[in-house]
Structure 1
Amino acid sequence: MRLDAIDLRILDAIQRDGRITKLALAEKAGLSPTPCWMRLRKLERAGIISGYHARLSLRRVAPVASLGVEITLANHRQADFDRFERVVRDIREIVCCWSVGGGVDYILKVVAADIDAYQRLIDALLDRELGIARYFTYIVTKTVKEDPVVPVSVLVADGA
């Protein structure tokens, strides 16, 4: 699906406020409400909008440890990757997992109640014998930037 400037304004607006009213969204997009709503539904049906979520301030909910983890597997057969990824998908504390090129195989973003809870999670992963050759943990001491808004208009090749 080719996105135009109106689509990009809609995407920008709903990323910033997923609860925006139909009327306010139409104003930001520069359309009347009905055509704007139709475009929004088209973006949803195309899978460009995959869901709506609330952004939580975790530290206001409970103490939390945020960690980055580099994982390198011992073997690099497809079955090894598939098994590791299947297990990771089911662990709620692993909130993000990227398969990456370079010196490691995966980078994880983990949230845990504390460092002890994180270590129990890692120990459980190691006990499952998933073929983890080594892992490196990075404790987040301060979040400098974590913006859920993706600059779609910058990423679109012609800027629409």
Structure 2
Amino acid sequence: MPLIIDEIDRRILRALQQDGRMQNTELAKAVGLSPSPCLRRVRLLEEAGIIAQYVAVLDQAKVGMALTFFARIWLKAQDEVTINHFATEVRKLPQVVECYLMMGDCDAMLRVVAADIPAYRRFQSELLSRIKGVQNVKTDVPSETIKKSFVLPL
């Protein structure tokens, strides 16, 4: 049976989205609970998969991955074998930080990070374009990031 999220759970989730390292006592105080029931609720949210994982969000530029590229992929076929092979191969590429199968003009959309344009060009020509089944790759380069958030509106 799926976990029903109430307003207290939403407060917990909002707080943890802002600071995933928040100590339980601090979290309990922030959401108006005592520490024991707060910890129990967090554990239930984790067990239900609502809290999928805790991560550190890094500054791309400071770790040498200053640029983001959006690669639109067209496959030679849209059959299950081609799509599954593409998905398996893309999962192996650490430069690809997000991959979506699309229901529009292209077959897949990737968000790729790289140090610079030559690094991306090498990635595209040596790795991405060589995946069996990839017919075409079109890349868009954003000129500025206006908003980037990992917080879901709860």
**Same fold by TM (over 0.5)?**
yes
- Map 1:54-133; keep pairs closer than 5 Å: 54-62=56-64, 64-123=66-125, 124-128=127-131, 130-133=132-135
Over 3 Å off, 4+ runs? none
Q: Distance in 2 between matches of 1:144 and 1:72?
A: 27
Structure 2 gaps of 5+ residues are none
Matching residue of 2:20: 18
Task: Read off the aligned partner of 2:27 and give its amino acid letter.
Answer: L
Q: Distance in 2 between matches of 1:4 and 1:10?
A: 10
Structure 1 gaps of 5+ residues are 154-160
Task: Give secondary structure in 1 for the equivalent of 2:88.
Answer: helix
Query: By how many angstroms is 1:134 displaced?
Result: 1.5
Matching residue of 2:33: 31
Q: Deviations over 1:6-52 (max 9, x none)?
A: 11111111010011111121122221110000000011011111111
Matching residue of 1:136: 138
Q: Distance in 2 between matches of 1:147 and 1:32?
A: 30
**Conservation of the 8 A alpha-carbon contact between 2:68 and 2:141:** yes
Task: Give secondary structure in 2 for the equivalent of 1:14.
Answer: helix
Matching residue of 2:11: 9
Task: Give secondary structure in 1 for the equivalent of 2:129.
Answer: helix
Query: By how many angstroms is 1:64 displaced?
Result: 1.9
Change (3 A) 1:2 1:63: closer
Query: By how many angstroms is 1:125 displaced?
Result: 2.3
Give the TM-score normalised by the residue count of structure 2: 0.93
Give the TM-score normalised by the residue count of structure 1: 0.90
Change (3 A) 1:61 1:125: closer
Q: Distance in 1 between matches of 2:43 and 2:65?
A: 38
Alpha carbon RMSD of aligned pairs, Å?
1.2
Task: Give secondary structure in 2 for the equivalent of 1:25.
Answer: helix
Q: Distance in 2 between matches of 1:126 and 1:62?
A: 23
Matching residue of 1:49: 51
